[in-house]
């Protein structure tokens, strides 16, 4: 497949404008920024650079829509819009896959593979649109007093998403907003804004009323900060780093807006000697190497039982060397580039830190610069052995294809050490022992525990974190609750 041909209608050389109130507008300042292909360094498009004034315009449009026509849409009407949007995304999935590959570098095999998840999420939210309801509560007051609850949309949602999965991240915010009757101002990551803008086009094509979905690309310190602190935004839904999450909490204090945060991780992936190693080797490897390690719940702390440590870590390193690194547009590529020069610099610094701290690289460990790779931001899958818990590469989120392999002796020890991190997003356990699996599932302080698998995701299953990995959930019934207020109603009937 010629990826550029697939996306040619969207990459037409024109500046990509922002969606506000159903109209495609230039930035109020007239500024634009470049978005580049991380595999080649080539400019893909110039994009309108939103700032505080554009956020003001978008929030006003979202508020007008929320108070106006959108408030009169019945659940079945919202459901129909979501189903139409799901159909359109499915029809255009090749274009979305190619855009994501070009804009943030993920292999085309991975971005094509997002079809089931992206479309499935929209259809799940569509189903939930007609299933949301309050409840009648038997109170204990004297007399005839009926009490019940109503579920009502929270209002205008400010959604700020990362660059590591532009299509699914955008749907994770837009889907629940449409299902619950909220309106949304979406701020895509400046590194990968193209897919969210294209999704905005399909929202209009699906019949979403003007102002219900607004897309304002820009930078975090300007557009993102303005959205987080805006006094007429009722809720912020953010996915990104814990440092930015902390700043969003502070910015939200002005009007005590609701906040949900899906933040970073340093997830333990625990391999016992009784595990099926034929599954655990590739499974634990791809728990980190998928998407070039740019996944918040990646299992980057690989705890391996001491009796199989040398063999297992050696096999993971050998597996990492079999993975094909290259331009994501090549269907044979398994590991693409990092998203930007900034991210490559960050990951490279951690490779140096690991060696300085005494860790031993068994594979990878250096940026790839051969041939065309010199033009892009390529770091190969890397496995560090001889890692200690106190090393920075064992405690800090690298967000690159880097495994820190750590030996352990017994169950109680690995539970304590696995939990000894500020994060709590994901975790993995590889064992044939059912009792051991259940014990770890309860003991690990993380929002997801994958047993004999990793990164399994489904629209009906909640995803989120403990501790510095944030609060609130995405996917599942719990996700919709984040976008709803609960109102108690009392009626005296006697």
Strand order in the sheet with 235-239: 23-25, 18-20, 213-215, 183-187, 156-160, 235-239, 258-262, 470-471
CA atoms within 13 A on the CB side of 352: 7
Q: Is 206 helix (H, G, I), strand (E, B) or coil?
A: helix
What does the alpha-carbon distance between residue 39 and residue 378 come to, in Å, rounded to a whole number? 8
Give, in order, the Cα–Cα distances in Å from 378 to each of 16, 177, 450.
27, 36, 29
And the tokens for 305?
A: 């039982």
Q: Which of 296, 305, 474, 482 is catalytic?
A: 296
Q: Is 26 helix (H, G, I), strand (E, B) or coil?
A: coil
Q: 72 exposed, middle or buried (CB, 10 Å; 0-12, 13-18, 19+)? A: exposed
Identify the CA nearest to 111 among candidates 87, 94, 86, 123: 94
H/E stretch holding 443 reads helix 434-443
Q: Which of 190, 262, 305, 397 is catalytic?
A: 262
What does the alpha-carbon distance between residue 211 and residue 202 come to, in Å, rounded to a whole number? 14
Q: Is the dihedral of CA 358, 362, 363, 369 positive or negative?
A: positive
Q: Is the dihedral of CA 472, 474, 475, 481 positive or negative?
A: positive
Phi-psi region of 404 (alpha: psi -120 to 50; beta: other; left: phi over 0): beta
What does the alpha-carbon distance between residue 413 and residue 386 come to, in Å, rounded to a whole number? 17
Verify whether residue 296 is a known catalytic residue: yes
Verify whether residue 262 is a known catalytic residue: yes
| φ and ψ of 197, to 5 deg | -70, -40
Identify the CA nearest to 41 among candidates 330, 377, 324: 377
How big is the CA angle at 332 (ends 327 and 337), to the nearest 5 degrees? 25
Residues with Cβ within 8 Å of 116's Cβ and at least 6 positions away in sequence, in order, are: none
Identify the CA nearest to 148 among candidates 159, 162, 134: 134
What does the alpha-carbon distance between residue 420 and residue 25 come to, in Å, rounded to a whole number? 48
Which residues does the annotation mark as catalytic? Answer: 262, 296
């Amino acid at each position: 497949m010629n990826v550029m041909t697939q996306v040619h209608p969207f990459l037409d050389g024109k500046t990509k404008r922002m969606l506000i109130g159903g109209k495609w507008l230039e930035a109020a300042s007239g500024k634009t920024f470049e978005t580049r292909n991380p595999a080649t360094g080539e400019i893909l498009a110039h994009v309108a650079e939103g700032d505080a004034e554009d956020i003001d315009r978008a929030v006003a449009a979202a508020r007008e829509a929320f108070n106006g026509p959108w408030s009169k849409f019945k659940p079945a009407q919202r459901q129909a819009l979501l189903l139409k949007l799901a159909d359109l995304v499915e029809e255009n999935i090749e274009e979305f896959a190619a855009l994501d590959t070009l804009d943030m570098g993920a292999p085309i095999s991975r971005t094509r593979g997002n079809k089931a998840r992206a479309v499935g999420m929209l259809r799940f939210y569509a189903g939930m649109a007609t299933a949301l309801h309050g409840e009648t509560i038997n109170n204990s007051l004297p007399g005839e007093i009926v009490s019940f609850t109503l579920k009502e949309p929270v209002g205008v949602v400010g959604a700020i998403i990362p660059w590591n999965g532009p299509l699914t991240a955008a749907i994770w915010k837009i889907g629940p907003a449409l299902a619950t009757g909220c309106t949304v101002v979406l701020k895509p990551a400046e590194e990968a804004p193209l897919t969210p803008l294209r999704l905005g086009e399909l929202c209009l094509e699906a019949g979403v009323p003007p102002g219900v979905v607004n897309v304002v690309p820009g930078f975090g310190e300007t557009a993102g900060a303005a959205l987080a602190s805006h006094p007429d935004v009722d809720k912020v839904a953010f996915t990104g780093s814990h440092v930015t999450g902390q700043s969003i909490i502070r910015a939200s204090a002005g009007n005590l807006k609701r906040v949900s945060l899906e933040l970073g991780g340093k997830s333990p992936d625990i391999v016992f000697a009784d595990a099926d190693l034929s599954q655990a080797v590739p499974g634990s490897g791809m728990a980190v190497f998928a998407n070039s390690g740019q996944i918040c719940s990646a299992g980057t702390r690989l705890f391996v039982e001491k009796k199989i440590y040398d063999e297992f870590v050696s096999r993971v390193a050998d597996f990492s060397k079999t993975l094909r690194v290259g331009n994501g547009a090549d269907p044979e590529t398994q590991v693409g580039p990092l998203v930007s020069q900034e991210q490559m610099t960050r990951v490279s610094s951690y490779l140096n830190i690991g060696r300085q701290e005494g860790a031993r690289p068994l594979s990878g460990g250096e940026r790839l610069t051969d041939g065309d790779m010199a033009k892009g931001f390529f770091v190969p899958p890397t496995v560090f052995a001889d890692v200690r818990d106190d090393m920075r590469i064992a405690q800090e989120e690298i967000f690159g294809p880097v495994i820190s392999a750590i030996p352990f002796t017994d169950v109680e020890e690995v539970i304590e050490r696995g939990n000894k991190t500020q994060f709590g997003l994901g975790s993995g356990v590889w064992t044939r022992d059912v009792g051991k699996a259940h014990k770890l599932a309860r003991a690990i302080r993380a929002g997801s525990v994958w047993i004999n698998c990793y990164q399994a995701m489904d629209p009906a299953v909640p995803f989120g974190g403990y501790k510095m990995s944030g609060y609130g959930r995405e996917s599942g019934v719990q996700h919709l609750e984040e976008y709803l207020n609960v109102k108690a109603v009392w009626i005296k009937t006697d």
